[in-house]
Structure formats: structure tokens, C-alpha cells
Chains A and B, each alone.
Chain A
Amino acid sequence: MANITYIEAISKGLWEEMERDKSVFLIGEDIGPFGGAFKVTKGFIQHFGEDRVVDTVLAETAILGAATGAAVVGMRPVAEIQFADFVTTGFSQLVNNTASIHYRWHVPCPMVVRLPSGAGIHGGPFHSRNPEAWFFHQPGLKIVAPSTPYDAKGLIKAAIRDNNPVLYLEHKRLYRHIKGEVPETDYIVEIGKGDVKREGRDISVITYGSMVHMALEAAEILQNEIGLSIEVLDLRSLMPLDTELIYSSVRKTGKVLIAHEDNITGGIGGEISALINENCFQYLDAPIKRIGAIDTPTPYSPPLEEFFLPNTKKVVVALKELAAF
């Protein structure tokens, strides 16, 4: 075991997969000598060479389209988009070409798109997005969003080995803020499997990414303050969802808070809520609650951004309301 940061876990996972499988290669802007916008691939080009660490020009459409084309003829590209926000410039490739290729041709399209996501670093409107809802709606794409170093490493490895296009959402604020134990031996975290990060009886918080940590803090606070027993379910995979784990948690607690950093309207929380409603209605003791960013673009000014985003305090308030219902 090694105690490493979230960002180190991603790097290690990538490194190990590149060592393991020659068909894995990296493609993206400034990932070579510069080491990537956030330094995830620092030192890679020196070790793996230019052929496998392909520094591209600034052109997301070209990166995503080229990765797709390489994937269908036997490669396993891992594309880095510098900030998830910029994936929009290559949107057509992903939602039209990449997502439909297996459906139409029955060939695997094993590629990963790394998307540094999320707000809370004062990036303003174009450097803070959470992109999951844009792609969640598109059949043919898988989406994962790790919250811990263990999951980050296990999921990047699983994503690379998967025969489908996988969007890998890595949260920028977690990069150097979260540390954890990570095995040095080979392991994967299965895509489609959630994880109960804290067991509880009274309320289920269904969440992922950065919000997992806030939910855990809130659970601790409420346990100490009023003896409330909160279960924190980390989805880890957003597509496919671990519906069995979700339903079993809901059946146990009867009350649900869905928490994501992405803004509320049209966010994936709505879909999860609908699924619970359709499948666990008789177990619910309170209306399902959702928490997320407010429905505006991301403001730059720190106090505005703080108001804009969900945080531990807001999770606590929402949980207290649910408890009182």
C-alpha cells in the first residue's frame, strides 16, 4: 500500500496500464514535455516516448475523432481534455461518432476520455464545468467519476481495459487535496459498481465525485450532533448506474438525498430520483431530496462561487430536513 494523492493515483494507473499493454497510448494537448495542464502525465514522454505520449495541437475535435478512429482499429487511446469544459468543442465526435460506432458496426471502441471536472477553484464560467449530464443522456458512452485515490486508480485501469468508450471524470479540486491508501499490486474497480463509503440506517446520501467527501463530513457531524445514522453511497459509475446498490440502500433507510456538484436541473440526480420512484416507491418515507449547484453559469468571485456550489453545510441542512420529515 502507498499513501498517495488522487492525482498520483490517476498517474500511476495510467503508467501501469501503459506498461502492461502496448496498445494503450495517450493523446492530448501539452501532455508531453509540459506534463499536461495538471501534470498528470509528468515524466511519461521521457519514459514511454513520443509515439505513445502524443502531444497534439490545440484541437479537441481532432483529438476525440482521432482517438475513436484509432480505437476501432485495435488501439486503446486515452485522450486528455485539459478541462472538461473544452470537451464541448469536440462534442459531435463523442455523441455522434464515438457513441454510435459499436451499435452500428459491432466493433469495440476501447477508448478513455479524461475530463478534469468541477468547480471550487475560481475557474469561472469556462473552467469549472461538470459535464456528466451532457453525456449521460447519450446511449453508448460509459461514465465514471472517482472520489478517492483507490477508486481513481482502479477505475482508470478498468476504463482502459473496457471495450467501450469511457468518460473518466476526475475532479480538479480533489487532485491534491485528497490522499489515501492505494495498493501497488494490480487491481481494478469494476465499472458499474458503486460503493457504500459509510453505512447508516436513517438516510441514504447518493452521491459521487467531490460531494462524497462533503457527504461523509455531514454524516459525521450529524452522527455527533443528533445521533443520526447516515449512509453514504458513492456511485463511482454514473453510466451504468449500480441500481441494485441504490435500491438496497433505499429499502434500508427509506429516505434519500441525492447530491451532486453539477447544477440541479437536468442533472443526473433527476434520473436517479425517477428510478427510485419507479422501483422503491413503497419503501420511501419522505420525498426524495436533491442538492447541487444552482442553475446559473459558474461565477468567478469566490463568495459567489461558494454560494453557487453545494457544500457540507448545505448537505447537513438538507439531511436535517429529511430527518424531520
Chain B
Amino acid sequence: MKEEKKKNIQAPWADLKLSNEKLIKIYRDMLLIRRFEERAAQEYGKGKIGGFCHLYIGQEATGVGAIAPLREDDFIYTAYRDHGQAIARGMSSKGCMAELFGKVTGVSKGIGGSMHFYDLSKGFMGGWGIVGGHPPLAAGSAFATKYQGRDSVTICFMGEASTNQGVFHEILNMAMLWKLPIIFICENNGYGMGTAISRAMAGEHLFEKAAGYEMARGAVNGMDVIEMYREMSVAIERARKESLPTFLEARTYRFRGHSMSDPGQYRTKDEIDEYKKRDPIETFGSDLKQWNILSESAIEKLEEEIKAEVQEAVEFADASPQPSIDVLYDNVYA
């Protein structure tokens, strides 16, 4: 792969208007997600984090590449594997870690936990624990912004297994019928919990599920943050300018178990190692080095910075108070 690249006369991002700062930000976000979650896994092991915790490790390029081209007034919906996307949207690592710790300073004030991050001020609309439950909400938001005459775009992440729920088809049809400014990003990491996609899908190409609705669609290399960025830019333009939906299948892979309690016997170590060779952070890092955007020492500096940030997040979470009982009663009704 490397040699092939050396022959390239243009950087992979040459066709995109991406400043060096933006490129570095993209890299930094991916690295922050990775280190944040590695630390979360440790804290889970120590019992500081409870319940269910699904790591995004391996899939960072999908989330960061999809979110980076968005505007501040756009909306993001996702499922329970939400830490990475929240961080990519600029939610603070402190608030995210505190949520995992169940503290009042957490992004969901300790009420939601790992699966239910949100920040309405950033258009980050969750974090949803019922598989297939959130895409209709995303379509509803897209409907509303169109109705209100805003040119906001809504993006909706979902795992590939969620496309087996009937509601997936209900909402794709509606999104196309109503010409909604929405982008469905299906993160195909090959597995729904312990079930390989080959055992769960009739047909070969997942993105063709959108064909029945004649929706713009395609597959993207979700391990390549620049390719994600590029395809998303096209889809965002289509949504914003033409008010039309897109369905993108982002082909990716999770390096860790489905959740913290997954022994992973349904796949081989070889398979995991094969994908790790395509680690999205390492690949992008080496591209940035090759095109002199980041030096080795600059990368090391970033690592240091992020390590300190994650450490601070853990200390913040640890020192934060527990939510008070009152919050339980305060918000059941408006």
C-alpha cells in the first residue's frame, strides 16, 4: 500500500478543501476517541463504569469522517455505540467520561450512561439503546428542519444489523417519499453482536437495501477517514441543496468485542489482525507524515496532549459528585 501511495502525485485529500488545521483536527479526534475508549475499558475493569459499554475502537474513521464535514446547525443521531461520535462532535472528554462514571457532570447528567449520550446544543441527538429505534426520530427531525425552512441536514448512524428491523424500511421509504434532507450512515462492521452479516442478510450488498426506494446509495471504505469525508460531502450537498436523502454503507470493523462482556468466539484472531493492519488512525497518520502535514514528533506531542486530556477527564469524572435524587422526579414531565 505504501509504495502505491508514494507514486501518488497528489495527497488523498487534494480534491477536498481541507486546511492543514482541519486535517490535524481529524487525526486528533480519531486519536482522542481511541485513547479515551482504551481508558474507559480500563476504568470499566476497575468497576468505575457499570452497565453496558460498547467501544468504537476500529471504527473511528467512520464517525470522524462523517461528522467533520457537518455544520454546527446540523443534527446527528446514533445508536448505543456513541462515545466516538460524541467526541467527534466536540463533546468534551470530561463530560463523556463523567457520564460513563454516572456522575452529575456527565453529558446526560448520569441518567443515561454509555449508550445514551446527548448534547442538544451541539445537535447531538443521542445515543439510543433500542436497535433500530432511532432512525425514525432522525427522519422526524429532518422533516421538521425542512418544514421550518432551515437548510440543516440530519445524519443518522446505525449498525448494519439494525437494517434487519422492519422500521428501517419504513423510514427509508418515508425519507425518499418526502425528500428529506437526511443521510443514513450504516456502519457495517460485519457483526451484529455475535452474528456475522453473512448469516443475517439475504443478498450481497447491504447498500442495495435502499434500491427499492430509488435512494442515492453506495458503499464507502469506512476505514479511510478521507474517503468518508469525501462521500459525506457529496451526500451533505445533496441533502442541503436538493433536499434528498442518501444511504451510505460504511464498511468498517470493530477491533474490540461487541460490549465489555464479549469473549468473541464467533470470529478468528486472524481476521481481527487482518483488519488491524488497516487501522484507520495509523493509516491516516502515515499519510499525514508522508505529505508533511504532521511530523513524527508532532504526532508524539499530540499523543502526550491527548494522554493528559484523558487523564484529566478521568480525574474530573472521579471527583465529580453523584447526581442528587431530585433529578429523578424533576424531569419525568415538562
Contacts and interface: CB of A to CB of B under 8 A. Distances in A.
Interface stretch (A101-109, A217-225, A277-285, A291-299): A291-299
A122 interface: yes
A227 B261 CA distance: 44
A187 interface: no
B266 A33 contact: yes
A323 interface: no
A58 B104 CA distance: 34
The A interface, classified by DSSP as helix, strand, loop or mixed, is: loop
Interface string A79-98: 00000011011000000000
B298 interface: no
A55 interface: yes
Nearest to B130: A126
B112 interface: yes
B102 A122 contact: yes
A115 to B, nearest CB: 15
Interface string B160-188: 01101111000000000000000000000
Contacts of B193: 29-30, 34, 37
Contact of B266 (A34, A57, A125, A308): A34
Interface stretch (B6-14, B67-75, B323-331): B323-331
B201 to A, nearest CB: 7
A307 interface: yes
B53 to A, nearest CB: 10
B235 interface: no
A124 B195 contact: no
Interface string B239-273: 00000000000000000000000000110000000
A97 B3 CA distance: 61
A300 B130 contact: no
Interface residues of A, number: 37
Contacts of B199: 55
Interface in B111-127: 111-113, 115-116
Interface string A26-62: 0001101111010000000000000000010111111
B132 interface: yes
A116 B256 CA distance: 25
A59 B332 contact: no
A302 B323 CA distance: 10
B113 A59 contact: no
Contact of B51 (A30, A33, A34, A124): A124
A236 to B, nearest CB: 29
A134 to B, nearest CB: 15
The B interface, classified by DSSP as helix, strand, loop or mixed, is: loop
Given A34-B266, A61-B166, A307-B325, A127 B129 contact: yes
Interface string A231-244: 00000000000000
Contact of A58 (B112, B128, B131, B322): B131
Given A125-B129, A296-B332, A297-B332, A59 B165 contact: yes
Contacts of B132: 58, 89
Given A299-B110, A299-B328, A127 B323 contact: no
B195 A34 contact: yes
A317 interface: no
B165 A85 contact: no
B135 to A, nearest CB: 13
B323 A303 contact: yes
Interface of A: 29-30, 32-35, 37, 55, 57-62, 85-86, 88-89, 121-127, 294-297, 299-304, 307-308
28 contacts: A29-B193, A30-B192, A35-B194, A57-B200, A59-B165, A85-B129, A86-B131, A88-B130, A89-B167, A121-B51, A122-B50, A122-B51, A124-B116, A126-B115, A127-B52, A127-B115, A295-B332, A299-B110, A299-B111, A300-B108, A300-B112, A300-B113, A301-B103, A301-B110, A303-B325, A304-B102, A304-B322, A307-B328
Given A126-B133, A300-B111, 8 more contacts: A29-B192, A30-B194, A33-B266, A34-B265, A86-B131, A89-B167, A124-B129, A295-B332
